Amino acid sequence: MNGPGDDDARDGRLESLLAEAQAAVAYSANALRSVRDRFRDAHTEQLAQLERLRDEVASVDHRATEGSATGVAGMAVAATTAGAADTAGAADLANGPDVATGSDAADATGAADATGAATAAEAGADDARIRVLRRDEAIAARVAGAEQSALARVELGIRSLEEAWLFLDPDDATLVTDPGGALTMTDVQMRIVEAQEAERTRLAREVHDGPAQALANAVFQVEVVERMLAREPVLAAAELRLLRELLRRELGDVRAFISQLRPPILADLGLEGAIRDAAESMTALLGIPVGVEVDPGIREIGEASQTVVLRIVQEAMQNVRRHADARRAAIRATHEDGRWIVEVRDDGRGFDVGAVAARGRRNFGLQFMRERAELIGAEFEVRSRPDGGTVVRIAIPRGAEESR
Q: Is the pLDDT of residue 343 over 70?
A: yes
Of 148-152, 206-210, 297-301, 379-383, give the range with the top mean pLDDT.
379-383
Mean pLDDT within 198-208: 70
pLDDT digits (tens, 9 = 90+) for 290-327: 999 999 998 888 888 888 899 899 889 988 988 889 99
Run of H or E residues at 189: helix 185-207
Predicted local distance difference test score (pLDDT) of residue 40? 85
Domains belonging to the chain, first-starting first, are 14-176 (1.10.287), 178-261 (1.20.5), 265-397 (3.30.565.10)
Closest C-alpha among 245, 235, 372 to residue 310: 372
pLDDT digits (tens, 9 = 90+) for 66-120: 655 455 445 444 444 445 445 444 444 445 544 444 455 445 555 555 555 565 5
Predicted local distance difference test score (pLDDT) of residue 262? 53
Cα distance between residue 205 and residue 365, in whole Å = 11
Q: Beta 290-294 vs 329-336: how paired, if at all?
A: parallel
Predicted local distance difference test score (pLDDT) of residue 65? 65
pLDDT digits (tens, 9 = 90+) for 6-46: 555 666 677 778 778 878 888 888 888 888 888 888 888 88
Predicted local distance difference test score (pLDDT) of residue 99? 46
Run of H or E residues at 334: strand 329-336
Cα dihedral 179→185→189→194 (10° resolution): 0
Query: What percentage of residues in the chain have a pLDDT greater than 90?
Result: 15
| Sign of the four-CA dihedral 3, 8, 14, 20 | negative
Average pLDDT of the residues of the chain: 75
Banded model confidence at residue 396, pLDDT cuts 50, 70, 90: very high
Cα distance between residue 58 and residue 200, in whole Å = 40
Predicted local distance difference test score (pLDDT) of residue 348? 93
Mean pLDDT within 182-211: 64
Mean pLDDT within 216-223: 80
pTM of the model: 0.42
b or e along 135-153 (b: 16 or more beta carbons within 10 Å of the residue's beta carbon)? eebeebbeebbebbeeeee
